[in-house]
Amino acid sequence: MGPLQGLRVVEFAGVGPGPFCCMMLSDMGAEVVRIDRTAPADLGIPLDPKFNLLGRGRQSVALDLKKQDDVVTAKQLIAKADALVEGFRPGVMEKLGLGPDECLKSNPRLVYGRMTGWGQNGPWANVVGHDINYIALNGVLNAIGETGRGPIPPLNLIGDYGGGGLYLAFGLVCALLEARTSGKGQVVDAAMIDGAASLAMSFFGQKAAGNFTNQRGSNILDGGAHFYSCYATRDDKYIAVGPVEGRFYQELIERLGLKDDLPADQYDRAAWPEGKRKLAALFKTKSRDEWCALLEGTDVCFAPVLDFDEAMDHPHNKERGLFVEVAGVRQPGPAPRFSRTKPAIQGPPSRPGQHTEEVLRRWQIPSTASRRSADESGSSA
């Protein structure tokens, strides 16, 4: 019953942002069919399909795209789809005979989503890379880390999933809405280097205004400010405080009894190092749970820093149903939420080729085996 119910998407198997995008589309109700390779492929860190949560909610068709019969099957699936998602290097789909020009001939309304790191053009377009490389070249990685230390990779959340998968999903839905009016499909060129730069939009603005420096750990939101940072507690756990607004900052220092010890002007950068030292010393005097008892639910912008296991059992997250269990694996549920067309996980991750015959039958496409038999019968006749 999700908002994308009735939408058909063909996904060419990949890693990272493409699967993340298609997981989101599936969670929102789209029918997404993944085309997997017939032979095992090197798709990054080895993982049992059961735990490949980015692959949830889709059925899998296994095809050998080096064989013309299987290319024909892929084209027939694409001809009946609303959208396509692929994450190969520029030119690969064209060499397979599955590029956008070819696909749009048979399906003029098709929205053709392309996911790459560097984009479809430019001198680096065909260079191998990963999240860490894309956010290095657009300036984002340089901004993340502590003073006097090197940049810290922020997992692969910014390039792969934020700048890649989310922007591709947004682009696909935009193009699908436009196609309803024009009757014409188009290509969506989603590049992680573009999307991750877009995510950092406000910081480029702050830099232009002179409010953001290239020195890591010296800005308001990168841990430089004493009022926006993580602090260790007596039991070697952590808490996070972030009262950026003046009234919330005043409440923090009053509740901590530090009104005369911390600067009244929280944006006095010269006072930040001393402010951090005083807060660090104070927060070390109690356990994380003791600080939770004192500060949770107040307007000081406070939260305990939880690990994945703790997060799944926190009362707020449990009441919200933030995490769900599918086929014995606990995982985040669909987001965002809708009041009427509620999204849902359509099933656990599938094994490559698990649903080949079922999907081809439902989409009314002859299997390669039956097509081959028909061709042989015709030849013998």
Where are the domains positioned within the chain? 8-199+323-374, 238-304
Q: Among the CATH numbers 3.30.413.10, 2.40.40.20, 3.40.50.10540, 3.40.50.2300, which is that of 8-199+323-374? A: 3.40.50.10540
DSSP 8-state secondary structure symbol assigned to residue 295: H
Side chain identity at residue 213, one-letter code: T
Q: Are 234 and 285 in contact (CB under 8 A)?
A: yes
- The residues with which 190 forms a beta bridge, in sequence order, are 115
pLDDT in tens, 253-282: 999 999 889 888 899 999 999 999 999 999
CATH for 238-304 (3.30.1540.10, 3.40.50.150, 3.65.10.10, 3.30.390.10): 3.30.1540.10
Catalytic residue among 130, 189, 299, 314: 130
**For position 31, what pLDDT does the model report?**
98
**Tokens encoding 282:** 């104070």
Contact criterion met (CB below 8 Å) for 367 and 355:
no
> Is 268 annotated as catalytic?
no
Active site residue 160: yes
The residues of the chain scoring below 50 in pLDDT are 373-381
Segment 213-259, tens digit of pLDDT: 999 999 999 999 999 999 999 999 999 999 999 999 999 999 999 98
**Catalytic residue selected from 27, 36, 160, 194:** 160
